[in-house]
Amino acid sequence: MQISNLRQYPGFADVIAERGWHAWWTESGVPLEDYRAHLNPMLEKEGIPSAFVAHDNDRYIGSVLIIENDLDERPDYAPWIAALWVEPDLRRQGIAAQLIARSREHAAELGHDICYLCAMADKRPYYLKQGFTLIEEDVAGLDVFTIPSR
């Protein structure tokens, strides 16, 4: 398995969009095509936003996004680790932790000292175990975490 910038493997953009849309956006009213369009800047330039994909040759394993804002209620926080996904049959193998590490490394390369993440409260134990610090509870129904990028 390797973790690559989506720019190097643009063929994974559709599957990343499909997984993210089905996991978090199906009830939002945002069409899949619109969600997929948000990945286009990640294919066009370096920096933020960016996406990283875990893969074994052409087999999709998982992905993570680094974006400017993942929570409208906290516009001053940036950047965000977002849309962390690992295929269900490959979970509990440390892949998500590797994707988190790669996203933190990318943020550090861009000069950011801290990354943010928001998640449902039931995910709190996982993120705390990964080294995140809970900084706020129940912001629009989500917990907000921070982690050093280095």
What number of helices (H) and strands (E) belong to the chain? 5, 7
Structure tokens, 85: 């996904």
**49: in domain:** yes
CATH number for the domain that contains residue 40: 3.40.630.30
> Which pLDDT band, with edges at 50, 70 and 90, does 150 fall under?
confident
Q: Is the pLDDT of residue 28 over 90?
A: no
Domain that holds residue 60: 2-112
CA-based torsion, 141, 145, 79, 65: positive or negative: negative
Q: Does some domain include residue 72?
A: yes
Residue 139 in any domain: the answer is no
The answer to whether position 132 is within a domain reads: no
| pLDDT tens string 30-69 | 999 999 999 999 999 999 999 999 999 999 999 999 999 9
pTM for this prediction: 0.93
Number of domains composing the chain: 1
